[in-house]
Amino acid sequence: MKVLPLFSLVTLCLLSLYSCAEKEAKKPQKPNFLFIMSDDHAYQAISAYSDHLIQTPNIDRLAKEGMLFRNASVTNSICAPSRATILTGKHTHINGKIDNHNPFDTTQVTFPQIFQKAGYQTAMFGKLHFGNNPKGVDEFMILPGQGHYINPDFITQKGDTTITGYVTDIITDMSLEWLDKKRDPNKPFFLMYLHKAPHRPWWPRVDKFKEYTQKTFPLPETLFDDYSNRGTAAKTAEMNLLYHMEYSHDSKIWPETIEEMGNVVPIVQNTQANIYNEFNRANEAQKQEYKPIIDAINEDFRQKWPSMTDKEKMTWKYQRYMQDYLGSISSVDDNVGRVLDYLDNNGLAENTIVVYTSDQGFYLGEHGWFDKRFIYDESFKTPLLVRWPNEIKPGTTEEEMVQNLDFAQTFLEAAQISAPADMQGESLMPLLKGDSAKWNREAVYYHYYEYPSVHMVKRHYGIVTKEYKLAHFYYDVDEWELYDRKKDPKEMNNVYDDPAYAEIVKELKEKLAQLRVKYKDSKELDDKYIEQSKKY
């Protein structure tokens, strides 16, 4: 046997060690995740989608440097159910969080728990909406319930606290502090950065409030919709700007102004909430900044309202709505820029997947409405922008039908973690990597439950493809609606009974029945949740 000299043995050992080190260096690095979600942020209020209302240059960066989805949607357009679907990767009829009232089953596994178990450092700051002890999160500071804009309260692992300032800035400060001082640089991270804004009642930061009350915005084409050629659900929903948006709570009219005027019509049924619910959270210095702006709004209302026509009143309320809503979004955009800049300046951007989305869409005066809930586009569709350097081609637009149902599985696959078999979505990885041939979804499923309740949007479920939308409204009605999404993008004409669409109706009903089976939904579950909702 030939014996190698000592020098050769040492050389071989060194070469072997170098080879192992080289292989380790080439081993794929786990990506970090920054998941940014706002509350009720309409895609129409992101300039990457449409620049007719507002400029959002920081959120737009994600579209320029990554991918913008034009057909992203939710499975149930209401806050807590949407968040439960994102966390579990399951439809609301499976995870049980069908509305804002029924409790969430906390025994379910959520994707942060899976990330934590796989060695990720996890954190959550901002609005969760339900529960006060999120699972799978190493550190959290979350708003109780809906939370407040001014001097908000937070639930933390060390006890509840109130922080002076504006909620959007505070949530960002928390997130940046965690990234800068509390993050373990030796671990990949998953940071959930969750804004309250622009949820109702819309309160901009005082500088934005002052700026945006001086702005005027273009009216939606369908602002004065009379709901002809639509079904009962659209005609009976209670989210019309003129008749249902509250003077004090929403438009910032002092109760004293309304009392002084004596005859403010139309009469809007007020909740117990009014402007003071938020205003009285401010300290004296903050009140002195807000009050002159609110007083100016009130003087304009006092002078103009009595002589206005209904159309003029609707327009006045629309402008007030947009001023506050968009002013709130402007702060979100500024703060998203702060976090993106931090990633860039600290060498984290290249290996961090950044996602921007909302828990659902929102009406910005289209069809005369505010709020969400319907399967109609402004409510059903949601913004989705994803940046992943070196993986996603910058400036890409994606038209495929995707849902918030898909987020959990997408994140897990990107992190090279196996997803539980009972998750119901599909990983978006083929689309993110430009391999659309591996994507075969043609339709998505939607189901809304919270009725009878605030805004009175009837229960309904449906199927949506790129071309058509078929919905079944049930409980106290039995009505079907079909919309041709290509010919009627504003969804003004229900063509369900049009003979020209008879074959399409038949085909979509069959596909809808198949989706109900695929996602384990049924008439029995519909009835179960009707009975269950009577308890809450």
The string of pLDDT tens digits covering residues 304-323 is 999 999 999 999 999 999 99
Residue 427 has pLDDT above 70, yes or no: yes
Q: How far apart are CA 466 and CA 444, in angstroms?
A: 10
Residue at token pair 């969080």:
97
Q: How many CB atoms lie within 10 A of CB 288?
A: 11
> How far apart, in whole angstroms, are the C-alpha atoms of residue 102 and residue 532?
8
| pTM more than 0.85 | yes
Is the pLDDT at 9 greater than 70? The verdict is no
Q: How confident is the model at residue 28 (pLDDT cuts 50, 70, 90)?
A: low
- Residue 273: the pLDDT is 80
Residue 1 binned pLDDT confidence (cut-offs 50, 70, 90)? very low
Mean predicted lDDT score pLDDT of the chain: 94
Q: Please name the residues in contact with 461: beta carbons below 8 A apart, sequence gap of 6 or more.
A: 445, 446, 447, 448, 471, 472, 474, 512, 516, 521, 526
Q: Would you state the pLDDT for residue 69?
A: 98
pLDDT value for 7: 44
Condensed to tens digits (0 to 9), the pLDDT of residues 362-403 reads 999 999 999 999 999 999 999 999 999 999 999 999 999 999
Distance CA 334, CA 451 (A): 37
Between 3.30.1120.10, 3.40.640.10, 3.30.365.10, 3.40.50.300, what CATH number should domain 459-534 receive? 3.30.1120.10
The SS3 call for residue 71 is coil
Tens-digit pLDDT profile for residues 193-206: 999 999 999 999 99
The domain covering 32-202+328-434 belongs, at the CATH homologous superfamily level, to: Alkaline Phosphatase, subunit A (3.40.720.10)
Q: According to the model, what pLDDT value does residue 5 have?
A: 52
Query: Nearest Cα to 101, choosing from 453, 373, 360?
Result: 453
Q: How many CA atoms lie within 13 A of 383 on its CB side?
A: 27
Could you report the per-residue pLDDT of 111-121, keeping only the tens digit for each?
999 999 999 99
Query: In this predicted model, what pLDDT tens digit does every residue of 38-87 receive, in sequence order?
Result: 999 999 999 999 999 999 999 999 999 999 999 999 999 999 999 999 99
19 Cβ contact list (under 8 Å, min separation 6): none
Contacts of 442 (CB under 8 A, 6+ apart): 401, 465
The pLDDT of 132-155, averaged and rounded, is: 94
pLDDT of residue 103: 87
Task: List where CATH 3.30.1120.10 sits in the chain.
Answer: 459-534
Residue 26: pLDDT above 50?
A: no
Mean pLDDT to the nearest integer, 225-252: 97
85, 404 Cβ separation under 8 angstroms: yes
